[in-house]
Structure 1
Amino acid sequence: MILTVTPNPSLDRTYEVPALDRGEVVRATAERMDPGGKGVNVSRAVAAAGAPTLAVLPLGGAPGALVAELLDAQGISVAPVPVAGQTRSNIAVAEPDGTLTKINAPGPELTSEEAESLLSVVGERSAGAAWVACCGSLPRGLAPSWYAELVARAHAAGARIALDTSGPALLAALRERPDVVKPNAEELAEAVGRPLATVGDAVKAAEELRDLGAHAVLASLGADGQLLVDGSGAWFATAPVDTVRSNVGAGDSSLAGFLIAGGTGPRALASAVAHGAAAVQLPGSAMPTPQDLALEAVTLMSHVPLDRALTEPAP
């Protein structure tokens, strides 16, 4: 079972439009509503693959109740932590060329008691989990060290930890030695304090995160592919994408694919890339099912192309 933790979940509304014209009335051609947040998306992708998952998240107000209802309708078990503030609502506008405009609300401010309740529930429910995926930004009221405490408690319960966050929260959590961290190129550059222009730059940055405590680094390099660096070496993988419809939740789907396949080694990397490539070809934050995957199309390389320039260098 894969347990996910989403400290700042959301109710996500996605609209597909012919074009986004500022100041004009824009008529959507399609719309959808999904439970949102990075950990929630991981649970949705795990459930779409037919594997068991439990989503732990703080929920408040009518939007929070709707998030729980939508997750239940998708067959996802929820361990809600009641909070006084209202769960945030986010809006995404998708254009035909793949351009996505997102408006993310800040979300509620958690009290110290609510923050501790969330930690306690994770500690209690981690005992039966193969993996605990801790994902997303921290809401107001939670210090950057909160993820470090969560990693420590989940490890104490015997679970392996996958951490997908950034900035001070990521750096603070590394001291507790998460089993895998999943930055994108921009987050990886931010963590090491310098730009990344090549795949080799990303490998060096990932090795630095391992020196700081991460057992493994699964780095998403956007359209260029994904990189896995652990104690046994480095692997690089790519997959073709015909049409990008939406990248919302694609990284989360990728992390789910990695964990479903065991969470270690090149086989898990190939699964991560296949899930990410499938997700970007689906509308909104829809998650791929096994029928959407094309594992045979993944190119896996043990000889990492260090000199390959990144299509989108990370500043």
Structure 2
Amino acid sequence: MGSTDFLPPGAAPDWTIPQEWASYTGEEHEMWDRLFARQAEMLPTRVVPAFMEGLDVLRMSKPGIPDFEELNERLHRATGWQIVAVPGLVPDEIFFEHLANRRFVAGRFIRPAEQLDYLQEPDIFHDVLGHVPLLVHPVFADYMQAYGQGGLRAAKLGMIEALARLYWYTVEFGLVRDGDDLKLYGAGIVSSYGESLFALDDPSPNRIGFDLERVMRSRYRIDDYQQSYFVIESFEDLLRQTRDVDLGPIYERVRELEPIEVGALLPTDRVFHAGTQGYARANGVTS
């Protein structure tokens, strides 16, 4: 999602552009392979099993930056989704429209070596490795489409900010229960070597049971590791709590209440782990 409304040169009215896979350099393919190798080694024991299943279905272990045309053949066969290339962040309503029609927007550029571990604007590694494997899972695929449909409604109600928080704390930085363990599923975590460790192992962040209204009121960071993560019970439960409810009354309550600051815990929270916030304090990023 983004805030700009200026259509970039060469983009179609829906902001899509050709991927131009043949134009990637050897260095760019090597960067993908370097990033992929790090995550492939550490994710299997940390990520929700559906993610690894998606990698297998899409054959994403093949060397080099994936060709969207090839990925789309397998992805569309699985759940009817496809990936479309865009020049960068797109306006909110364009983003929602693509999701509502089972199209996932992905940047075509890959990060330079000096930004190996962190970049603020998502690149192709974040967008494709982070997001696309779970689009093979039928229920998560339905959640993403429902999010797009909900976004179009939220835009008319002036509630995009609340819905953006939902996206942030589920699609980007969500955790899920797996028996007695917590597993990763958010793309912002699974595409980040450091946060893949931090989100599950570090004592600093809170790990809180998912509650839709609580999430819609919760501020977040875009410039560092998260101070709180929200834990869903399952993709089925996430879909039930978001698609199969009337969001109107929730929006009205959220509109009248103050946002919840980053890192805060509430008496009503179902707390899996009360974080020390030590990392945030040490790095000067407390709210």
**Higher share of residues assigned helix:** 2
Same fold flag (TM > 0.5): no
TM-score normalised by length of structure 1: 0.27
**Higher share of residues assigned strand:** 1
